[in-house]
Chains A and B, each alone.
Chain A
Amino acid sequence: MRNITAQAATAAAVPAGSDVAVEVRGVCKMYNEVEALRGIDLDFPAGKLTTLLGPSGCGKTTLLKIIAGLIPATSGEIRVNGQTVTGPGPERAFVFQDFALMPWATVMRNVAFGLELKGMGKDERQSIARKYIAEVGLSGFESKYPHELSGGMRQRVGLARAFAVNADVLLLDEPFSAVDEQNRRKFQEDLLELVEKEKKTFIFVTHSIEEAVYCSDRIVILSRRPGRIAQIIEPEIDRTASPDAIRRDQGYLDTVEEIWQGLKRYVD
């Protein structure tokens, strides 16, 4: 486990030379009189899974939506692959906390929806969608409707939809919070496999410390409102081990404990 302070992180991130997929520069967000985010400077390394972790109301989802271009920042800017973000773009795809699946459309149409909006032909987009439906483990469910699926399966549809548009950066907003505990564990394991396989940049918002430590290459801990970067941690867990071994690993447990000690003061 590596613990990087906020100041050192911004200093260290610039000359490191490793690819940076998303740069956040001086982002502030005000909701009327309420200050949600203050002066966020952050780099998200390409091909890694970075988690935004923090107490509820710390602005982690707000930051993710600003990166997605769904809501504008009050000041500061976001650059994705060097390009300044002004709205949603094809290089980013969003996975929603409440799945945001169209209840009147089949799994197939939901997964292919991003491609449908781009005007891709039916056969072409369905063959792409079929591939990602298989990748998230939903083969055979193509013609089912969302209400016929469990919460975990619905979020797999949301994930497949984000994969299908072939974006470089995937933004996941508490993707497992509406999924029950057993399904969540399995889903986390599958997600790690997909991170390995797809070589994309993942930015993940969660309020579960265990989930953050288990899944992430890097964890950014935000303080309570106004959200600022409190701590950056790189768990450095050996991911070649089996999922169960990781969950019993001393390094894993120590990291969880340390984050909890840091976050405890924000809990009332």
Chain B
Amino acid sequence: MSFPVQANGSSRAVPTSEASFFWRKLSEHRTALWRLASIGLFFLVWEIAGRIPISFAFPTFLETLRAFVTMTLDGSFVAAYAETLQPLVIGIAISAVIGIGLGIVMGLSRFAEWLVAPVFIVLQAAPMAALIPLITFVYGIGLLSKTLAVIMLALPVIVLNGYKAVRNANPSLVAMCYSFQGNLWQRITKIIIPDASPVIFAGLRLGLAAGFIGVILAELLITPTGIGDLITYHRSVANYAEMYAAVVSIILVSTLTLAALEAFELRVLRPEKRKS
């Protein structure tokens, strides 16, 4: 959060000494500082818990960090993610295209809503992990099954968010477009989609998060490859620090991807939010 800057030299623009400049800089980045402090506190608690220790299988923060750095440097993360990201990227891409398309159609047409919505409402409620063995049974243990696992977890939330966003597009803006003789295509592309985009993107972020769950589940339940293999292997040989490092790495990758998606949304679709 930054304070509004007085542009035209009004009463607030008093000459600043070095100290107050420092404090102003600090307050500009206050949110970031608090976030860092929160993460730092979490690591501290982790370190203490590891040193007590609360469990024989629970490494300290510093041990995990050392394992993390080693695994990053020796290339085992690079190799693992090259495998893990394949079904994830394919699955999310398919889910995004189908999900947003279906969501928009369902939002615009009561018939499509009636036809499709119940399926996805049931799918969203269903415990997907229970269905993953079934996928293996039908599609084997290859890339296809893992991609399907990602789609099954990611698609419902993307579809349902898209559909709700379009259905709840601001009626006043829709009426405005109609009153200026916009046709149906203009109404959809110029009003409904931009107006719905924050909720559509919220759906995409949730879908991406669910996709990460899907791919890890697939790698733990179907065949141990990629990051799932790292976790399974290090657990089986009791390298707990390495196992935790792998878990932390997937959390890190998923968080960074979600943040990148959010940044993309602000940059491309809602310029007014970036400016504020």
Contact = CB atoms under 8 A, between A and B. Distances in A.
Given A96-B176, A102-B194, A145 B181 contact: no
Interface stretch (B11-19, B47-55, B266-274): B266-274
Interface size class of A (residues with CB under 8 A): 20 to 34
B133 interface: no
A94 B179 contact: yes
A148 B4 CA distance: 12
Contacts of A57: none
A191 B1 CA distance: 39
B272 A88 contact: no
Contacts of A114: 180
Interface in A138-167: 145-148, 161, 165
B275 interface: yes
A31 interface: no
A221 interface: no
A113 B180 contact: yes
B173 A145 contact: no
A68 interface: yes
A114 B186 CA distance: 11
B275 A117 contact: no
B139 interface: no
Interface in A87-106: 88-90, 92-94, 96, 98, 100, 102-104
Nearest to B276: A147
Nearest to A145: B272
B180 A117 contact: yes
Contact of B186 (A68, A90, A92, A117): A117
Contacts of A161: 180
Q: Is the interface of B mostly helix, strand, loop or mixed?
A: helix
Contact of A70 (B178, B182, B191, B195): B178
A117 B176 contact: no
A22 to B, nearest CB: 15
Contacts of A70: 175, 178-179
B179 A88 contact: yes
Nearest to A94: B179
A157 B272 CA distance: 16
Given A96-B172, A98-B172, A103 B272 contact: yes
B181 A118 contact: yes
A179 B173 CA distance: 19
Contacts of A92: 179
A88 B181 contact: yes
Contacts of A118: 181
Contacts of A89: 181
Interface centre among A92, A113, A118 (most CB of B within 10 A): A113
Interface string B239-275: 0000000000000000000000000000001111001
A165 B172 CA distance: 19
Contact of B182 (A69, A94, A98, A117): A117
26 contacts: A68-B179, A70-B175, A70-B178, A88-B179, A88-B180, A88-B181, A89-B181, A90-B181, A93-B180, A94-B176, A94-B180, A96-B176, A100-B172, A102-B194, A102-B195, A104-B194, A104-B269, A104-B271, A104-B272, A114-B180, A117-B180, A145-B271, A145-B272, A146-B272, A148-B276, A161-B180
Nearest 9 Cβ contacts at the A-B interface:
A145-B272, A100-B176, A114-B180, A94-B179, A117-B182, A100-B172, A88-B179, A104-B194, A117-B180
Given A93-B180, A104-B270, 14 more contacts: A89-B181, A100-B172, A103-B272, A104-B194, A104-B271, A104-B272, A113-B180, A117-B177, A117-B180, A117-B181, A118-B181, A145-B275, A145-B276, A161-B180
